[in-house]
Every structure is written in structure tokens, then in C-alpha cells.
Homo-oligomer: A and B are copies of this chain.
């Protein structure tokens, strides 16, 4: 019934595992240049950790620390023990890299397999990985997990909907991994092709990589005719497989034998009580090659109080509601893109994609939202469109407290992203100030 007995370990057993993991991890960290310096300055060692709460004796590790340590300042094993690396960003901005030993790759695959099993996938099921491969951890991460679980894995990669559909049919696929924006796009493709999703016989979609609302999930389930399960991961913590929904779809179990998760006040860093929303901070407990202590994910979420119907004892994270750093400030107002998504996805006229553009006009920062609307809406008479436009502007203003420029565009006209969708384009530094 469970992939691993540890999924239903008692809270006391989990605390003991976490303490042991914390000690081992602190000991391992002493081999890296970065942590040797930092822990040395602090005068702490493995013996100082006698409960999971003792993690608070440690300082945070930040994205900037990783950037400074790039490419290899965090390695705790001899160079020749590493077999993989992933890089978290593009050509601009300072990148960060995560390195994996063979043990790390195997342990990661195991966690992903555990997640896929929790969703309902089993050995012998057919699984199509519809996400890009390469440096994006969602590709190889899910792929290795699927093979580990024993699924017949179809490495379809991203894009080419026609071919995806052929593979889904030819191999009677049971489950897929797909990023939310492409899932919505693929749903539209099925409709255009006159395919009834129910005829595909698929049952599960793992969706992650892009934060999304509950409403978007329900919409994906509707257009694809399956159950969609939210997943959480980030390259710094391996990639996918950190936290995953179970069949109850009531929050994502974070695997507490492998990660020690905390929620802190993003301003002060102080721990927050269970149930309160704050910044997620993660510590690896089983990583050999490049363990990280109290890594500030910059993702905002909370622990969901209470027990899950599935019987797993690992605490559940709520879906990510924003990030401490993707906050947009326009005219003195703090805006999270997620707020805009919530407004748009609640409007039935809206199609799948939208784009937030930031620009300058008259020396002021401005926000413009391009919104795809359904074909039948787009084809409607001018007064209908004007009415929709007015309502949309009003609702957005009510939510974010500034009045955005809104442009209604034809469905499909905003390029679908491969990998993580870029929902915000910031032109403020490019245009003349």
C-alpha cells in the first residue's frame, strides 16, 4: 500500500530519523569549503544536534551563497564521486549548480518513485514524460523515478502535441508528467482534434514546476479527463520529489526522512507556528555530495495542520502562494503574479495563457496584462468584449489595488513556454526611463 514503510513512521520515529540525518549532514558539510568556514566560525559540530529543533542553531543558506560558491564551492565528496550536475538558470544572472553523486541520483529516483506511487501509479503502468529533459530537473528527475518505480517510461520530451497524442494512444498511457501551462494547451489541442479525453484511458497527471491555483488544477483535470496531482521541488533540493500530493489531493506530503522543512517569517527569519504562511526553508538529510543546511527557498507556503486521510505521517505543505522575490511593486502596492492568475482563472471567458508585462510610462512603473480569451468570446461583438474588458480591469484592481492595462488577445497567441512558464516580462530596464 505504501512504497516505503517510512511513509507511515510515527512522528517520534521521524524525529529520531531527522536528528540522526541532521547530525550526519552537519558532519558531511564540514568537508565543503563553504560550510567548513561557516560552521567553524560558529563553533558547532554534529554533537550539538539532539532534536530536529536544534537546526535553529544554524544560519540560513541563501541563493546568493550558492552563487558565490558557484560552480563547486559546496562539494563534500571527492570530485570523481560526482556523476551529474544540474544548473538552475539561464544565460543571464549568476547561475547556481547542484552536483549529485551516484548515491544522490539513486536516492532522488527513490523519492520520486515514492511520490508517483503515492499518486496511484504502479509497476507495469505506462508513463509518458511530457516535460523537457536536459538541465531542467523535471525531465531526468521524473524519468529516473518512473523507471525506478518500474513504469514503462516513454521519454516523449516537451512539445509536438500531435506526436504526444499518438504515443498516448499507441502505448495506452496511464499517467503523464506535464507542466501546467502545457497541460492547458494540450487540452485545447485535444478539443481541436475532436478527441474525447475519456477515450485516452489515462488516469494521472503529475503537474509541477509552475505554481498554480487550485482552480487551474481543476481546469486541467477537466480538459484532460484525469486526476492531476500537484508536486513541489526545486533544483537546490534535487528537483521534483521533495513534496507530492497523495490520492487525497489535500496538500503535498514533504518527505521528512529526506528533508527537514521549516516555515519562517521572510523578514525576520523567525520560525512560524504550524498553519501560518511564511517562507519555506529546507535542509537535506540524506544527500552525500552537496548537502544544504537551512536553504531559503523563497517560496511562500504553510504547513497544513492535522492528519491526512491517506495515513501518511509526513506533514503536508499547502500549495505555493507566491515567492518572497517575485513580488512586483507598482505604485507602492505589492503584487504577486499568483494574485492575478487567481482573478483570471476565475473568469470563464479566459483561455489558457496570460502574460504580465511591466514597463515604464511617464517615468512611472506600469503593469499590463495580456489575457487570452476563448475563441467564441474573441469572436463576439465589440460591446461584449468591451464589457468583459471592463469587468476584468475592475476585478484585477480590486485584487491588486492598482489599475492594470488589460489587453484581450486571441487564444494561442501568447507563446506557450517550454519548461517553466515565464508569466512576467519586465521591460522596465530596457525601455528609456
Contact = CB atoms under 8 A, between A and B. Distances in A.
Contact of A157 (B70, B134, B150, B155): B134
Contacts of A105: 147
A196 to B, nearest CB: 20
Interface string A125-157: 000000011110001100100110011111111
How many subunits of this chain does the assembly comprise?
2
Interface string A76-101: 00011011111100110001010100
A135 B156 contact: yes
Contacts of A124: 79-80
Contacts of A57: none
A167 interface: yes
A37 interface: no
Contact of A79 (B140, B152, B156): B152
Given A71-B171, A124-B79, A171-B85, A398 B99 contact: no
Contacts of A160: 91, 398, 401
A146 B71 CA distance: 20
A102 interface: yes
Contacts of A156: 134-135
Contacts of A71: 170-171
A56 interface: no
Contacts of A86: 155
A218 interface: no
Interface string A99-117: 1001001000000000000
A154 B91 CA distance: 15
Interface string A21-47: 000000000000000000000000000
Contact of A139 (B80, B133, B401): B133
A85 B170 CA distance: 12
Q: Which 9 A-B pairs have the closest CB atoms?
A: A134-B157, A80-B124, A133-B133, A83-B147, A82-B152, A162-B398, A71-B170, A84-B153, A91-B163
Given A85-B171, A133-B155, A163-B398, 5 more contacts: A71-B171, A83-B153, A97-B170, A99-B152, A134-B157
